[in-house]
Chains A and B, each alone.
Chain A
Amino acid sequence: MQQSGNENLVNSTKSNIGGWLFLSLFCLIGPNCQDRQQPVFSTFVPIAPSYENIKLTLQPDTLHFQLGAKIYNEIKSFNYFMNDGLAYISFYDRRSESIVIYNFHSRQLCKQLQLKRILKDKQFYKVSVYTQNFDSIYVTNLDKLYLLDSAGRISRTVQCRDGIENIAFYDTYVPIVVKQNIIYMGLRPFVKESSLPAIRKWKVLCGFDLNKASTSLYYPLPSIYHKGLYGRRFLNYSYCLNEKGNFVFSFPADTSIYETNLTDLHLAYNARSKFQAAPIEPVSDEALKKDEGSKEYALRDAYGPIYYDHSTHRYLRIVKHKIAKADFDAQNYRRSYGIIILNQQFKIIGEFLLDYDILLDSIMITQVGEIYARVNKDDENALHFVRLRWNEDQPMTKK
């Protein structure tokens, strides 16, 4: 009986140890599994590329906006907009901390709004501005989105969830998208670049519901970012909106682009540069810790902003070609850049190397399909844009 009791005790102890082991493992693994965000599964749609002789060429017609004595060339965000049938361009000048609006055709200054007078006693950090029209100007500052009008009256304020970990912003390569009363904006990649769990959890879009004064986060990074580290420079993603109202994302380390409606449509398409000879390898944790992220970025191919030309239904994806190690060591940091063109069905129809200097994150497409890009950003007295045109649209190529 005693022996039996001992056996029971041993069995009970064994069973307890097993139970504790299971519980311990569950405690260790369970929460991690829950924390670990899975990437969105996107169905890859294979489409063979066909490189036609299509490119954007530089045109002689350029835009120049003269800056006044108190307007500077420190432009942080700009956009083209229509108001009562007239075209305008709006800039946020960080130096004067003001929103400046010019008539697009006359190039005359229409308005300068001092943000310091509107957002009184506020600390300014990473401000961005998008002018939809004179009644709706969206301003992001720190973790807040403000909606104001051109008289400087604030009508709404919404705070992004999780405080300053999520700072929403507008730029030409992360446009504001309004769908079903939700205002979608990009999020600055303020995520720890050397933490894979943090990167897996991070989401790239913030949706503001102005009526409920609430926000939600959407869309994690694609699977390639869940497998290895790339550093913060590879987190500067971009998106555009196509004619179906779907987002199309481009991520610097990923050859594919992703079309999504954020709910039930998730498709991936090949948008790889024909000049990319090898995969874009992850960056070692050691290199990131040694602050060599910029070097590793320069030594790899990377993809930049994506834009959608609504008039021709074409996507423009910027590609930044890597520089050779020897060039990097010789401090020759100049990369070559190109643009990949995809048609409405996401077929690559062209790729060309840029043989002119433009600011790659400044491409602006007007309502009538004119494509402009900012140039000569060092000029303190004026802002300059050059016109780009499809070579097939030009009289010479029509012959």
Chain B
Amino acid sequence: MTKYIVLLIAICSFLACNESIKKPENTEFISDTVTQAAVFNDLIKLTNNSIEEINLKDSMAFLILPVKLSCPACRKKTIDSIVKHQNNMPDRHIVIISAAEGIKNIRSYFEEQHKELPVIKNQLFLDSTHQAYKYKLVKENPVIFYALHQKVYKKVLAIPATVKDDLCDFFSGPQDFKPQNDNR
């Protein structure tokens, strides 16, 4: 009898441990092809339609930081990552910083962290009229979209518990979409 009780406690402990390390669910898979294309088009609009045609046909990822609406922890980590990776951004990975109040306002969040708003040609875009919010791409936290062949198939909503890993995936390039010329 005692050994059954011990076994039961062990199983319960295992399940409890398993539960405690479970990552919060923050990923949404988009299966509807119309939505996939519509979201992709909205994302491209935020880049002023400046992405080269050849890149559009490949895999892409978009990180949108709603700089004012994000929680302080997510904002800080995202700004740190953008600055850290400004010279080694994965190909076809796009960062969009969004705010309704303009570029001066966006810049102030970097200055608050004693950093400069970087210039990353063709990979960093400033959405200073908060179109991302109007297109319903973001609400309150950073969001990462993954796309293939001009269709967005995955949306990752960064939250304080996941933001570090989410940013790591984006800036290193997830395994399934690591750029082919990236030999790091």
Query: Considering the complex of A and B, which 9 residue pairs feature the smallest CB-CB distances, nearest first?
Result: A380-B102, A380-B104, A74-B101, A72-B105, A95-B105, A73-B101, A95-B108, A378-B102, A72-B104
* A-side contacts of B102, CB under 8 Å: 73, 378, 380
Which residues, 64 to 100 on A, are CB-close (under 8 Å) to B?
70, 72-74, 95-96
Instruction: Report the Cα distance A74→B130, complex, angstroms.
Output: 14
- Quick check: A378 and B129 within 8 Å, CB to CB? yes
Interface status of A381 (Cβ within 8 A of chain B):
yes
Does B103 lie at the interface of the complex (its beta carbon under 8 Å from any beta carbon of A)? yes
List 6 contacting pairs A-B, 8 Å CB cutoff, sorted by A. A73-B102, A73-B104, A95-B101, A95-B105, A378-B102, A380-B101
Known pairs A380-B101, A380-B102; A72 contacts B108 (CB<8 A) = yes
Chain B residue contacts of A380, Cβ below 8 A: 101-105
The docked-state distance in angstroms from the alpha carbon of A380 to that of B104 is 7
- Docked pose: A96 CA to B101 CA in angstroms: 13
Binding site for B on A (CB under 8 A): 70, 72-74, 95-96, 378, 380-381
Which residues of chain B have C-beta atoms less than 8 A from A70's C-beta? 108
Q: Once A and B bind, how many residue pairs between them come within 8 Å at the CB atom?
A: 24
Grouping DSSP codes into helix (H, G, I), strand (E, B) and loop, the A interface class, with mixed when no group exceeds half, is loop
B101: nearest chain-A partner, CB-CB:
A74
Contacts of A72 in B (CB 8 A): 101, 104-105, 108
Residues of B within 8 A of A (CB): 101-105, 108, 129
Q: Which residues of A contact B129 (CB under 8 A)?
A: 378
How far is A72 from B102 in the complex, measured between Cα atoms in Å?
A: 10
B100 and chain A: residue at smallest CB distance: A378
Instruction: Please give, as numbers and ranges, the residues of chain A lying within 8 Å of B108 by CB-CB distance.
Output: 70, 72, 95-96
Question: Considering only CB atoms, which chain B residue lies closest to A377 in the complex?
Answer: B101
- B residues in contact with A74, CB < 8 Å: 101, 105
Q: How far is the CB of B122 from chain A (nearest CB, A)?
A: 25
Nearest B residue to A331 via CB reads B134
Question: Which A residue sits closest to B111, measured CB to CB?
Answer: A70
Minimal Cβ-Cβ distance residue in A for B104: A380
Bound-state Cα–Cα, A95 to B109, Å: 9
Q: Beyond A73-B102, A74-B105, A380-B105, list 6 extra A-B contacts (CB 8 Å).
A: A70-B108, A72-B105, A73-B101, A95-B101, A96-B108, A381-B104
Q: Give the docked Cα–Cα distance between A73 and B102 (Å).
A: 9
**Which chain A positions have C-beta within 8 A of B104?**
72-73, 380-381
Chain B residues with CB under 8 A of A381: 104
What is the bound-complex CA distance between A381 and B103, given in angstroms? 11
Q: Name the B residues within 8 Å of A96 (CB-CB).
A: 108
CA of A381 to CA of B104, assembled, Å: 9
B101 to chain A, nearest CB (A): 5
**B62 nearest CB across to chain A (Å):** 22
Compute how far the CA of A96 lies from the CA of B129 in the bound complex, rounded to whole angstroms: 20
How long is the Cα–Cα vector from A74 to B102 in the complex, in angstroms? 10
In the complex, how many angstroms separate the beta carbon of B110 from the nearest chain A beta carbon? 13
A380 to B108, CA, bound (A): 12
In whole Å, how far is A294's beta carbon from the nearest beta carbon of chain B? Answer: 12
CA distance A95 to B102 in the complex (A): 12
Residue in A closest to B108 when the chains form the complex, CB atoms: A95
Distance in angstroms between the alpha carbons of A73 and B104 in the assembled complex: 9
CB nearest neighbor in A for B106: A380
Q: Which residues of A contact B101 (CB under 8 A)?
A: 72-74, 95, 378, 380
Q: Which residues of B contact A73 (CB under 8 A)?
A: 101-102, 104-105
Q: How far is the CB of A300 from chain B (nearest CB, A)?
A: 22
- In the docked arrangement, what's the CA distance between A70 and B105, Å? 10
**A381: nearest chain-B partner, CB-CB:** B104
CA distance A73 to B128 in the complex (A): 13
Distance in angstroms from A78 CB to nearest chain B CB is 16
The docked-state distance in angstroms from the alpha carbon of A74 to that of B67 is 14
Closest to A74 in B: B101
A209 CA to B71 CA in the complex, in Å?
Answer: 35
In the assembled complex, the Cα of A73 lies from the Cα of B129 at a distance in Å of: 13
- Cα distance A70–B101 in the bound complex, in angstroms: 14
Q: A380 to B129, alpha carbons, bound, how many Å?
A: 12
Most chain-A Cβ atoms within 10 A of its Cβ — which of B101, B105, B129?
B101
A72 and B99 alpha carbons, distance in the complex (Å): 13
Nearest CB on A from B113, distance (A): 14
Chain A nearest CB, measured from B34 CB (Å):
17
A70 to B107, CA, bound (A): 11
Task: Compute how far the CA of A254 lies from the CA of B182 in the bound complex, rounded to whole angstroms.
Answer: 64
Q: How far is the CA of A381 from the CA of B102 in the complex (A)?
A: 10
C-alpha spacing A74/B109, complex, angstroms: 13
User: Nearest-CB distance from B111 to chain A (Å)?
Assistant: 9
Q: How far is the CB of B167 from chain A (nearest CB, A)?
A: 24
Shortest C-beta distance, B131 to chain A (Å), equals 13
